[in-house]
Structure 1
């Protein structure tokens, strides 16, 4: 029986048990290991791995698949594999802190019908005795916040007038819908106004406003599309001829964990959003209005705390795939280990025996981490949001 009774990873930024980070942000956490008795530990390693996968079966019964790897980084927290003496740990609980900087050029987490983008941190502990081995993994979310176009901050208005046949006559169905803006940040509410005038001979049975995510999956020079509703407001109310229906200040929430539009840095999955307004009528007919909708970043976020040291000591602890020369701010070269300037300054040695010499693209200390989920609410300029109103009207 293994003397390692438990091995776990606890990460910071825990929101509703969902670890959520921005590209370029530092992941901080702790590895906990519990020992039933004094144990000799040879190695404790941590690996961060991210991949994208796509798979679906076409009409020709052929399965189309594709994969991308975005992060494949590892670090030895304890490594005595080449020493004579392993690390002797007494019975009880032991803690090992860790820091990892996510690369900037990674996509957001995503789970869909035919594909996904996932992130996992895995810890492995190996003792001098082969039975003393344990593995633990912890998934986490990455959400990129791209800035939405300026036009998406403007109101969105849609109108339609349809002639609807009924028996031997025709009548019109007039629809007017307005959104307060054509884009939003996950976790926000979008407010809409809608007005329906029914002068046709058919009865309106329901109105529905939706935010729809359209995903295109690509593999082996083929593609397939899937649509899913991420938020909706439905109103089932009969509106007969000569009647109307009005929505005022209706809230359409944008879920907090949806990826940004386009899913940047992922070549096998592409996302787009649209706003859809549907009017359902007797006889199985419907009128549908659609317009593009953007999901992205708000202009402000949390600053990196000044008390945290985000310097070379953390940057040099992790590696990513690749092997390229790195130009440091002071003009010295790094990466391949051949530069004389680098040899004279060991603080710029990023290899440390990992066999990979390229560090992630890093965000400067002075820059802002735009993370709306962790942003404190601003009290200035807070608006008084009126109550929702859904009512019938007479024409």
Structure 2
């Protein structure tokens, strides 16, 4: 069998692009023996997809129900070689290295890349070499698109957030005095790399011992299929305290939860995947009974609050006039997404991100295999998007990543 190498190469090996950016590169096809080809076509597509299945029972019969949904953002085709370009139904490529340059511009109002087991937002280059009476040869290449979420465009993120809740444990006909939790955060907007300082007071007024208390940084993702919504919770970092005896108390005083590399809140411009983040205090009772969970929502962005950036010596660029015409904006998402209204009325992309790094998502890499992939498909087999990360603090040893959607 002849040795071939089909690649999609991006100029400057750039991996992160923003809506409106132009991507340039080339398809390189190395052939060591004469090869008959009908056409070579490059495609560039952007889409979001959710998909999962659940088992059901009807009498003695068990069956599977599939749920899915999809959004398409664009589909560009670029014919690199065909009858129109060669003048013949078939072209014989002699042994050589063939290069086909390309250039494509991303549209505005597209969401950030996202990878998880049951939902993805992907931007994929794929090239297909159509051969007569033989298997086609394919290659693909995924890129990260980053739609920056500027925390300064959302009101009230510098304000304090507090929440108080309580729970009564019942055992048979007896009800205990309540377990009370009060949580406080000094602000609500953060970026990956920061630590979230928080204060929490736990008052166990019951006569039961609480086995432990936990503070967690939680990522909650809603996947909206056409007939059902599934919510998956990823517990990213945690701090754990010990027992609280009946009548006892516990406190978290200015303890900190590290924010790993994660996508921005809301996944704006995507209607079928919604991302939210919470600081959650959990009190687990010993023995029977369900624990008390007290969540406080925070917003994770790509560009920090101006006041926070200044503390770290960063001068954020002043906002400019919108690049994309407001008339081209999509309508607001359905109410179940609940993203701040102003987020969808502002198209002013920052001219440049403040000094930061890009790092691989804490959710890890996922398989990019698709229907139609064969042994003749070259390119990415696993892919993890990258997101902004501010190296402003070091994660604590006890704030370890411990439960990610699989």
Deviations 1:11-45 (A, max 9, x none): 46879xxx443322333444332221466766443
Aligned to 1:7: 6
Rg larger for: 1
Give unpaired runs (5+ residues) of structure 1.
304-325, 327-362, 391-395
Q: How far, CA to CA, are the matches of 2:105 and 2:84 in structure 1?
A: 26
State the partner residue of 1:210.
217
Q: Which residue of 1 aligns with 2:140?
A: 137
Distance 1:42 1:113, change over 3 A: closer
- SS of the aligned residue for 1:140 comes to strand
Gap change, CA 1:37 and 1:256, over 3 Å in 2 = same
Aligned partners of 2:35, 2:130: CA distance in 1, in Å?
A: 10
Q: Is the 8 A contact 1:276 1:290 kept in 2?
A: yes
Q: Which residues of 2 match residues 228-239 of structure 1 at below 5 A?
A: 228-239=233-244
Compute the displacement of 1:368 (Å): 3.1
Give 1:136 shift: 0.5
C-alpha deviation, 1:185, in angstroms: 2.8
For the residues of structure 1 that align with 2:87 and 2:113, how far apart are their CA atoms? Answer: 42
**Any idea what the Cα deviations from partners look like across 1:233-258, whole Å, max 9, x if unmatched?**
04151222454433344332334243
User: What is the total number of aligned residue pairs between the two structures?
Assistant: 321
1:9-24 alignment, distance < 5 Å? 9-11=8-10, 19-24=15-20
The structural deviation recorded for 1:102 is 1.5
Per-residue CA distance 1:186-217 (angstroms, 9 max, x = gap): 45433323333445322222222232314041
Structure 2 residue aligned with 1:116: 120
Q: Distance in 2 between matches of 1:257 and 1:118?
A: 16
How many angstroms does 1:47 deviate by?
0.7
Structure 1 pair 165–227 and aligned structure 2 pair: CA distance change class (3 A): same
Distance (whole Å) between structure 1 residues aligned to residue 12 and residue 302 of structure 2: 19
What pairs up with 1:88-107 in 2 under 5 angstroms? 91=95, 93-107=97-111
Unaligned runs of at least 5 residues, structure 2 = 59-63, 307-313, 317-327, 329-346, 359-386, 400-406
TM-aligned CA deviation for residue 93 of structure 1 = 4.3
Which residue is equivalent to 1:226?
231
- Preserved CA contact (<8 Å) 1:165 1:171: no
Match of 2:183 among 160, 177, 183: 177
TM-score, scaled relative to structure 2: 0.62
Distance of 1:133 and 1:158 partners within structure 2: 59
Residue 70 (structure 1) aligned with residue 69 (structure 2): no
1:53 matched to which residue of 2?
Answer: 49
Q: Distance in 2 between matches of 1:269 and 1:91?
A: 47
Query: 1:231 offset after TM fit, Å?
Result: 1.8
Aligned counterpart for 1:289 among listed residues 294, 300, 304: 294
- Structure 1 residues 20, 255: closer, same or farther in 2, change over 3 A? farther
Give the RMSD, CA atoms, in angstroms: 4.5
Query: Partners in 2 of 1:67 and 1:364 — Cα distance?
Result: 27
Cα offsets for 1:145-197 (capped at 9, x unmatched): 23342312333233345566799895554433233432333454333233334
User: Residue 259 of structure 2: which of 254, 262, 276 is its match?
Assistant: 254
Separation in 2, partners of 1:274, 1:202: 27
Indicate whether 1:368 and 2:352 are aligned: yes
